[in-house]
Structures are given as C-alpha cells and as structure tokens.
C-alpha cells in the first residue's frame, strides 16, 4: 500500500468557499473540492485539507500558519493569498504594501521544514467590476509580482490566474465568470 499524500490548501474566501470550519474534513464548494474529487477519481490514496478562511490576508495566514499548515505536515501545499491585502486598502483604508506582503510570504515559507512540501502558488486575480478600479488593479499587480518572484525563488508551481480569468471574462463576460471581480462562479472555476 502506498503512503497517503497530504494536500493542504490555505488562503482566503476563494479557498474557503463555504467550508464548514467546525468539520476538518469539509472542503467547501470551490476549487479545493474539484481538485479533491479529481484526485479521488484517479484512485490515489490522498488526504485533502482545506484551511482557507474568508477575508484572510497574508498576516492572517501567518497568525494561524503553525496550527493550520505546519502541524498538518503537507506533502503538497497550495497557497492563494493577496486579494484581501489589496481589497482592505480600498474598503477599510488598511493598506498592505508590496514590501510588507513579500516579507510575510517569506516568513510563512521560512516556517516550513527544510525539506518541506511541494509548493503551488495560485496568483491572486481581480477583475474590475466598477468604474475607477484601475488603482485596485495596480495595487494587486504589485502583489502578483511578489507572488511570482517568491514562487520562482522557491521552485513553486505557479498558476497564472489573472491571465486566465481575464481571458475567460473577454470570452464569456464578467457576470458569467466573477461578478464581484474576485469570487468565481461555477463557470469561472471550471
């Protein structure tokens, strides 16, 4: 019997996607569930854990990193963060600079064991849904650059989501993909 491979997904609402936080086996209804179902369909012996929390920024991940990620000892760790680091600047006047965002990401990765998990970074995306949101795009672009740089330095696989989501919107329209600019519909997830 082959050993169980543990996949841990950490991030914000796009990872959380309605999971029941009182049930450690709850995967939510988004991309984590889709991946778990795909892995199960391949017949592998896997343990998939979703520890996403809606609204989280990088500093929020850091506050729970040891208990939610390090203790889980993942074989594969998927990290999706950055949208709320951008969003809070505009809805709460609580900005996160690219430098602070990068420093937090580096501390998260430094807290992993030396021969830690395979890393997969999902690039945060934002699709403007209202006039005057170019400043939002510019803010997130700086954080996306950080994600790309840190992922490359750590040999992580990078999912370039901004490009894919923008192309999907060009083809199908914002309402079909992510009406609020950040939360994908089932069509946007597929």
| Residue 156 lies inside a defined structural domain of this protein | yes
| Residue 95 lies inside a defined structural domain of this protein | yes
Per residue in 135-173, pLDDT (tens digit) is 999 999 999 999 999 999 999 999 999 999 999 999 999
CA 179, chain centre distance (Å): 18
Question: Taking residues 1-6, what's their average pLDDT?
Answer: 71
**Looking at the predicted structure, is the pLDDT value of residue 1 above 70?**
no
| Residue 171 lies inside a defined structural domain of this protein | no
Q: What is the number of structural domains in the chain?
A: 1
**How many whole angstroms separate alpha carbon 53 and alpha carbon 48?**
16
Residue 3: pLDDT band with limits 50, 70, 90: low
Q: What are phi and psi of 25, to 5 degrees?
A: -95, -5
**How many whole angstroms separate alpha carbon 88 and alpha carbon 50?**
23
Model confidence pTM above 0.75: yes
Q: Which of 129, 133, 137, 131 is nearest to 179 (CA)?
A: 129
Given this model, what pLDDT does residue 187 score? 84
**Looking at the predicted structure, is the pLDDT value of residue 69 above 90?**
yes
CB within 8 A of 76, min separation 6: which ones?
5, 6, 7, 8, 117, 118, 119, 120
| Residue 180 lies inside a defined structural domain of this protein | no
| Residue 68 lies inside a defined structural domain of this protein | yes
Per residue in 175-185, pLDDT (tens digit) is 999 999 999 99
CATH assignment of the domain containing 126: 3.40.50.1110
Question: Taking residues 114-139, what's their average pLDDT?
Answer: 94
**How many whole angstroms separate alpha carbon 21 and alpha carbon 75?**
22
Pairing between strand 5-11 and 118-122? unpaired
| Residue 105 lies inside a defined structural domain of this protein | yes
**Looking at the predicted structure, is the pLDDT value of residue 55 above 90?**
yes
Given this model, what pLDDT does residue 162 score? 94
**Domain housing 43:** 5-160
**How many whole angstroms separate alpha carbon 102 and alpha carbon 70?**
19
**How many whole angstroms separate alpha carbon 95 and alpha carbon 143?**
12
| Residue 73 lies inside a defined structural domain of this protein | yes
What 3-state class would DSSP assign to 55?
A: coil
| Residue 144 lies inside a defined structural domain of this protein | yes
Given this model, what pLDDT does residue 93 score? 97
């Amino acid at each position: 019997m082959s050993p169980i491979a543990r996949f841990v997904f950490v991030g914000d609402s796009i990872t959380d996607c309605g999971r029941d936080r009182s049930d450690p086996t709850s995967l939510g209804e988004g991309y984590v569930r889709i991946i778990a179902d795909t892995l199960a369909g391949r017949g592998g012996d896997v343990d998939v854990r979703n520890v996403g929390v809606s609204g989280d920024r990088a500093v929020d991940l850091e506050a729970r990193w040891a208990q939610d990620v390090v203790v889980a000892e993942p074989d594969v760790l998927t990290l999706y963060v950055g949208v709320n680091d951008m969003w809070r600047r505009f809805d709460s006047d609580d900005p996160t600079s690219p430098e602070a965002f990068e420093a937090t990401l580096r501390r998260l990765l430094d807290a992993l064991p030396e021969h830690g998990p395979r890393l997969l970074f999902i690039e945060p995306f934002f699709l403007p849904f209202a006039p005057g949101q170019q400043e939002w795009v510019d803010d997130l672009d700086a954080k996306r650059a950080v994600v790309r740089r840190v992922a490359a330095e750590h040999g992580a696989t990078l999912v370039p989501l901004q490009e894919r989501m923008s192309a999907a919107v060009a083809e199908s329209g914002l309402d079909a993909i992510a009406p609020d600019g950040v939360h994908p519909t089932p069509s946007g997830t597929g």
